[in-house]
A and B are shown apart, each in its own frame.
Chain A
Amino acid sequence: MRTTFSGIEIARRALQAQQLSLDVVGQNIANANTPGYSRQVAVHKAAPPYPMPQFSHNPVNGMMGTGVEIAKISRMRDEFVEMRLRQETHNHSYWQTISDGLEQVELIFNEPSNSGIQQALELFYNALQDLSKASENEAVRSVVIQRGAVLTEAIQHARFQLGKLRDNMNDIVSIKVNEINTYATRIAELNEQIVKVNSAGYQPNDLLDERDKLLQELSKLTNIEAVVDQYGAVTVSISGATLVQRTEVFKLQVRSSNQPVTPPYDRVEVVWQGSNSLVEFTGGEMAGILKFRDVYMQDFLTELNQWTADLINTVNSIHSQGYDLQGNTGIPFFVLADGSATVTASQDPSLTITMNIKEGWQIAASSKVDDDGKTIAGNGEIALKLAQLRNTPINGTENTIGGLYTAIISRLGVRALEGKSMVNNGEALVNHLKNMRESISGVNLDEEMADMIRFQNSYAAAARYMTAIDEVLELIINRMGLFGR
């Protein structure tokens, strides 16, 4: 036997369930464009039935349904896709950072162009050739000085800009460390709220979305591993060292390094605030910045310094074999700002390279002096020897000065190209995973519309059912037993 009014209860539950589902549809439509939002679904479930009351136990009669209830509002999310996306994001942003940096290096060298070092070098050689033709001529001598100055300026510009780019990386490291700390703090705060809500028996969908979004942002900055524990709190670690554990944050900090590097400069490193041990970055922007700064930039600076050293030392040593117009042996052609004439691979790039020769007569173009110690002005043999450096291999290598420079540029090109293709590959993967995530968690408006109609119709039907029950009860209450009145 069922109670007279149970129909009203079923109708009420149906109305409520459809209405709540409509609310969820509304929430989905509202958040269709919210970044990080995961589609929610109100899961309908038949309410627990009860055995039909009867005089004798007869299981064949089955149980009475009590209508519908909302089991939970579930959040459509695939943790595996999220994890893969985080991993690919490390990799992608690592290469993106390196590739962006290399693009800047390409701009600094500005080759091939009519304003790069190569052009300046070729013009310098041509000026020396002209000098070998008319070595007594003041005008030709001053052209050599001008061209030499252009060459040193071009080299100095590249060295200075490279050094500056490398130093900028230090500032960026500090900014990124701050960002990581901020994200970690917010994740810890969310952990606290999520654990609270979870323990009260609810599912904190929107808080989880927010936390996943933060993890995604964080994985752009650094490689992270994220593990969710049984209470719903996420533990975040960088290369095995914990960054966030439940509500606790282990912050990073920047300090200046005392590790010697070549060429030397003031560089910063990232350590754990508590233990002072170095943070091991293997992915994300942080790893990209550090790799770019410590490997790529240092390599380019070392190579450029080495090349500058080869150029300066070779030119100076040939020049010192000659005589200037006043009968003195040649002074160093190029010098560093501190006056030294020798450049090494580990030179500080901020140490300026300049022309040591200021006056035309100082160029030791001639290889001979006469018996009175006077320079033979028309002898341009040293100038010719300098001009022939264009085709002369140096230092026992197979390469000329120009060839060595081209080798640097070619290596830069190979690296930049590698960076670009890694970025493209990473982008394809990240996009694929984003599409996969969107396919699971994204909101499809057509689908929501269809659901809306569905729930709307169900609501209308439930209301009609309520009306039917009402009419039935009306009949019982108001019309029954009136016979013969």
Chain B
Amino acid sequence: MRITNNTLINNMLRQLNSGLGRLGQYQEQLASGRRVLKPSDDPAGIVSISQLKTSLFENQQLLSNVDSAYSWLDSADTVLASVTSVMHRAKELTIYAATEVLSDSDRYAIQEEMKQLFDNVLQLANSTHSGRYLFGGQKTTTVPFTRESLDPNDPNFFNIVYQGGRSDDGTASQSLEINANSVLDLSLVQTKVNADGKVEDSLFMPILSTFRKIIADMEQGNVSDLSSVDIEQLESALDNVLSYRAVVGAKVNRVQMAKERLQELKINFNQLLSNAQDIDVAETIMQLKSEEYVYRTALAVGARIIQPSLVDFLK
């Protein structure tokens, strides 16, 4: 093949150009830390990159869901703990009131304290967590437990109406995703319809109705009921609360396990995403170095061969 000066120059320019192009590519990779910057960089890898990104976004959201679940259940448990201690006090008062030797003023004081305890439980039943009623099911904006009458002298003052979500139409539950497509029901609300056709929740209504009966028995001095039926009812309501606390514990357990799993997954996903889209810095720098060497050599060789011609040596 006959080689001309222009062949040399053109070849040199082309090689320098493609060398510079490869240098540019490594520079872009090193500067961004990414191996895949455009779909065409790795069309197959794009699929796994996208899937991993989706998983990471989902994971991030699920972790935040788990945290919300955790704090929600924590609040519920705190409320239930307070309810338990209120009930213990109520039990003490009931046993105290069941003795016949009390003076009227003592009996009055006990009655008043019992009413306070009733208010206490009612308040606890209506507790909120970040603006939502804890024990109202899906009706998070409606006060779940209200008095039938607001007049303290009205006999219905201690009658409580439940207005929260109901089990029978599915509005009692509060679903939250804690794993992909697996839902945890945060709500502790369970309701049934009683003989009068009224909806009752099975956590607070038994306590409140027991309290109402105790208050009535105290007012009427019904010592025999106070010492037998009322105490029994109180005991069974207390057991009920404890079983609810067990449920909360179980849910917290599930949430905690989910959280650990999600955190592990997060690390895995990040690792996999990094494998799929990030460069190996050491390797890329090595490649850059070797490319740089080739480029410099091409420059040096080019500079040597394109300069002289026969002209330089003719006199």
A interface with B by C-beta (< 8 Å): 32-33, 102-103, 106, 109, 111-112, 118-119, 122-123, 125-126, 129-130, 132-134, 136-137, 366, 368, 370, 376-381, 384, 387-388, 390-392, 402-403, 405-407, 409-417, 419-420, 431, 434-436, 438-440, 442-446, 449-450, 453
A-B contact pairs, 16 of them (CB 8 A): A112-B36, A122-B58, A126-B61, A132-B175, A378-B139, A378-B141, A379-B165, A384-B177, A388-B177, A412-B43, A416-B38, A419-B40, A439-B1, A443-B4, A444-B4, A445-B4
Partner of B61, one of A33, A125, A434: A125
* CB–CB A380/B310 < 8 A: no
B156 contacts chain A at the CB level, 8 A cutoff: no
The 3 lowest CB-CB distance pairs between A and B, nearest first, are A378-B140, A413-B39, A413-B43
A102 to B41 CA separation, bound complex (whole angstroms): 13
- B169 proximity list for chain A (CB < 8 A): 368
* CB–CB A444/B41 < 8 A: no
Known: A368-B170, A402-B50, A438-B6. A106 touches B40 (CB 8 A): yes
- A449 proximity list for chain B (CB < 8 A): 309-311, 314
Chain A min CB distance to B116 (Å): 30
A380 to B177 CA separation, bound complex (whole angstroms): 11
Chain A min CB distance to B164 (Å): 9
* CB–CB A453/B314 < 8 A: yes
* CB–CB A439/B40 < 8 A: no
Partner of A368, one of B3, B54, B58, B138: B138
Partner of A106, one of B4, B38, B183, B309: B38
Known: A413-B38, A449-B314. A439 touches B50 (CB 8 A): no
* CB–CB B58/A378 < 8 A: no
A387 to B176 CA separation, bound complex (whole angstroms): 11
* CB–CB B7/A376 < 8 A: no
- B130 proximity list for chain A (CB < 8 A): 134
A403 to B309 CA separation, bound complex (whole angstroms): 62
* CB–CB B5/A444 < 8 A: yes
- B2 proximity list for chain A (CB < 8 A): 439-440, 442, 444
* CB–CB B170/A106 < 8 A: no
Known: A132-B176, A390-B54, A449-B309. A439 touches B171 (CB 8 A): no
The contact size tier of chain B is 35 or more
A446 to B2 CA separation, bound complex (whole angstroms): 12
Closest B residue, CB atoms, query A379: B138
Chain A min CB distance to B130 (Å): 7
* CB–CB A129/B1 < 8 A: no
* CB–CB A376/B139 < 8 A: yes
* CB–CB A412/B39 < 8 A: yes
* CB–CB B7/A439 < 8 A: yes
- B41 proximity list for chain A (CB < 8 A): 413
* CB–CB B165/A378 < 8 A: yes
